[in-house]
Amino acid sequence: MTGIPELIAETPYIWRARRGDHRHRLICFPHAGAGAGAYAEWAALLPPEIELAAVQLPGRQNRIAEAPVTAVGPLVKLLTQALRPVMDGPFSFFGHSGGAVLAFELARALQAKGGPQPSGLFLSAQSAPGTAGRIKQLRDLTDDDLAAEVVRLGGIEPEIAEDQDVMDALLPTLRADFDLWEQHRIESGPRLKSPITVLSGATDPRAPLDTLDGWREQTDGAFTTRLYPGGHFYFLHDPAELIHDISQALLQPEKAGSVS
């Protein structure tokens, strides 16, 4: 595996798999309860022209002792500065579920400030603004029911959910994240200049197909939707096809619907 960069922590908020000769950087935002390490295997699957960076939030992995985030606005404001080291050249955002909302809100904040802006947004497994009322809310479930629901969605392996010590460590952050994102509402505002690509599992109950097209209203750039077999965590066990499609879009901008 010589030559494949490893995703490592560089700052409290940035994990990066450095590639000295990259042309583009893909900055990834993890889903509820997850940390930057959720993208560790992506470094080996991305072509050498694309460098991987992942956002690490408090309350998980190497930041497990810190309290989870409880407000979106201050977090976005902080990230506009904290991610500057990985926004120093061409970059795009990928976010999954709640991470997609964070990526979108950060792109909006950067545009409002006249700061660096992503060449494109890849928003995965997240229904469009204004459709949240149709999605089952999880934040008020009991611990057992919350764990069972996340297992059903494919986010936690059943054998892990049976380990009470692991779940005792995981559930507070998981619950805090669902509380954060289920209560957050994207406000009306200027449309982004960055293109948006919506990615989803064809049978995802948390991002039904008829809730996706509304993202089109959030950009003046190109808009593309791409569906994959599977549910909410459609790429978790085999992200190769998803990574190939993102890489093609980033490195071949002449293709219709891709980013430049």
Q: Which long-range contacts (CB under 8 A, 24 or more apart) does 245-249 make?
A: 246/26, 246/92, 246/94, 246/122, 247/46, 247/47, 247/50, 249/120, 249/122, 249/197
pLDDT tens digit sequence for 110-147: 999 999 999 999 999 999 999 877 888 888 888 889 98
pLDDT at 15: 98
End-to-end CA distance of the chain: 30
Which tokens in the block code for residue 75? 């977090």
Over residues 185-203, the mean pLDDT reads: 96
Give residue limits of the domains in the chain. Answer: 8-251
Which tokens in the block code for residue 141? 């479930």
Does residue 97 carry a catalytic annotation? yes
pLDDT tens digit sequence for 7-24: 999 999 999 999 989 999
8 Å CB contact between 107 and 93: yes
User: Which CATH code for domain 8-251?
Assistant: 3.40.50.1820
Longest dimension (CA), the chain: 51
118 vs 89: CA distance, rounded Å: 10
**Residue from 24, 19, 25 nearest 3 by CA:** 19
Instruction: Catalytic residue, from 97, 119, 127, 200: name it.
Output: 97
